[in-house]
Chains A and B, each alone.
Chain A
């Protein structure tokens, strides 16, 4: 994700990328080729040396480094955008919330799925009352997770399968987004009432998870279903959110382009036309899903400029990690079947 964010920043007129840190020489060479001047192999050194030179940092590191990188960044006075998950456990998340409050800096977590056009649309329709009261949300994402085979092959990093370092498996990786969307749709706090994890891969972390949430106020149920086990390749993207209300339902399946290549051609043609007439190009709209990464970063920088509150906060990240941690505990204590006598 770091490379994606770097490239996105280079296309933002109001942003200048002055420094990058990565332990990989190859990654730094790439950054240099893209015009980044100050390069570091150690993020702590980067944060220390660029303290007076940089307004904001984007953190895209393995999960177990999130807390340390966020803490150092906030203590060094940077505005911070971090990739999800906020951190690998609730305690770290609580500490981050406090650090953010004390720092007075802008802080945003990368909950990019909120900015996918289909999600934005069903959220807007839900708020308009199109489906009446929301009763149940089913939200799922089944794909290849860390097993996505890159064009230039590289093995999956070991930290993915170490729960201490990753925070968990598919539930932490993909479920994090789904839970955040449930919180986003309902706007209420929720408890985990069912949790079933799959360990068919015989790894220390789960490769699949199904959990059920219940909101405290309106008793809205959320069925979250995630998995790493599917060999699916972009442009196929096995994600959907369906909101079931009293007056009707909303589904992202009805809004996502059915033919991704036709969508890409149409959006591409529109952007070329905009470029010709001097209009504003809608970055990455041709890819449909990647546009969300650009949008969230653009919003982060806008919040810094306009001194407004970022749309996805440390508290959002904390709430999500709290649910994940509760789901792990519930599964461990009950093997998932809480209500079975």
Chain B
């Protein structure tokens, strides 16, 4: 069964973000459920950096989505902006720092720390590994679940987009402990959490450096969104471990993906691709050189460089 992924260039002809969100949804033929009481938007606030760095979901984009939802459902529907704490990040700081506390007040929506939510314990088997997950119940119980990831590269997984953003929804804050099985954990959480809609923030994307791509992506299938996102970021999706695992777990099929709206090349040509292999090699070599030099010269390695 075909699944659409739409690509929309925002801000052209002076259109507002809200109009472009509506356009992205029209292109995939998305129909909102007729009656909902609760809507949860999972943000991508991995750290304290402003949206202009390409690391975190832009509040202006979220604001446009809220406005669109209010038009459809009115003021009575409860909208929650959700994020979980992470190994190095506390939502009690990211919400105010990144402008979400202000946005929540302005738009009369709630902020939800998923790490403080009631959880459902799950154990998922992926690629022979059993992955234990604490899944926030709010995400499982909401009437409409919207995933709003950033489009960015990440050394450990090559790309970070819709599927990886759901990894960020795991309630347990010390998610760094999952890193030895990162691909498997990403797939595991994606077998449990199924957003109704993914709306990717590619307004400012992050490659080797941040770049204004002015891109909105929409899709209902999380795997399909990431398969497309990988191509925009210059990767061969079939070379990305978690996407390969996702195919095995029947989370999606590349042959079913239908890209609508703008062409992938319209964005990939401007994306500053990152060679993860070279970047990791460079980092590893640097540390090896420093360690070797330190032994020969009897010099100090600053602990902040050495602490692995």
Contacts and interface: CB of A to CB of B under 8 A. Distances in A.
Given A231-B49, A275-B296, A161 B87 contact: no
Interface stretch (A39-47, A108-116, A150-158): A150-158
Interface stretch (A76-84, A279-287, A320-328): A279-287
Interface in B69-99: 85-90, 93, 96-97, 99
A329 interface: no
B93 A203 contact: yes
B297 A275 contact: yes
A4 B303 contact: yes
B307 A151 contact: yes
B304 A281 contact: no
Contacts of B303: 3-4, 7
A147 B48 contact: yes
B1 interface: no
B298 interface: yes
A201 B300 contact: no
Contacts of A275: 296-298
A161 B93 contact: yes
A239 interface: no
B47 interface: yes
A268 interface: yes
A38 B307 CA distance: 22
A189 B288 CA distance: 47
Contacts of B55: 231
A41 to B, nearest CB: 20
A150 B307 contact: yes
A153 B93 contact: no
B93 A156 contact: yes
A294 B299 CA distance: 11
B102 A8 contact: no
Contacts of B302: 4, 7, 284, 287, 290
Point out which of B55, B101, B307 has the most chain A C-beta atoms below 10 A from its C-beta: B307
Contact of B300 (A153, A154, A156, A283): A283
A202 B97 contact: yes
Nearest to B286: A261
Nearest to A294: B300
A268 B296 CA distance: 10
Interface in A1-20: 3-4, 7-8, 11
Main secondary structure, interface of A, reads loop
B89 A150 contact: no
A229 B87 CA distance: 20
A7 B90 contact: no
A272 interface: yes
B142 interface: no
Contacts of B238: none
B293 A153 contact: no
A153 B298 contact: no
Contact of B47 (A147, A151, A284): A147
Interface string B273-308: 000000000000000000001001111111110011
Point out which of B49, B86, B308 has the most chain A C-beta atoms below 10 A from its C-beta: B49
Contacts of A284: 299-300, 302
Given A202-B97, A290-B302, A229 B50 contact: yes
B299 A271 contact: yes
B97 A272 contact: no
Interface string B94-116: 00110101100000000000000
Contacts of B93: 156, 161, 203
A8 B300 contact: yes
Point out which of A4, A229, A231, A287 has the most chain B C-beta atoms below 10 A from its C-beta: A231
Given A151-B308, A155-B90, A7 B293 contact: no
Interface in A270-299: 271-272, 274-275, 281, 283-284, 286-287, 290, 294
Nearest to B96: A202
A231 B89 contact: no
Contact of A153 (B87, B96, B99, B101): B87
A98 interface: no
A275 B297 CA distance: 6
A51 interface: no
Point out which of B85, B89, B176, B303 has the most chain A C-beta atoms below 10 A from its C-beta: B303
A272 B293 contact: yes
Given A4-B302, A268-B297, A153 B97 contact: no
A22 to B, nearest CB: 13
B181 interface: no
B101 A202 contact: yes
A154 B307 CA distance: 12
B53 interface: yes
A283 B88 contact: no
B175 to A, nearest CB: 9
A231 B54 CA distance: 11
Interface in A223-240: 229, 231
A156 B85 CA distance: 12
Contacts of A49: none
Interface in B153-209: 176
Contact of B86 (A4, A150, A153): A153
9 contacts: A151-B308, A155-B89, A155-B90, A156-B90, A203-B93, A203-B96, A272-B293, A272-B297, A275-B297
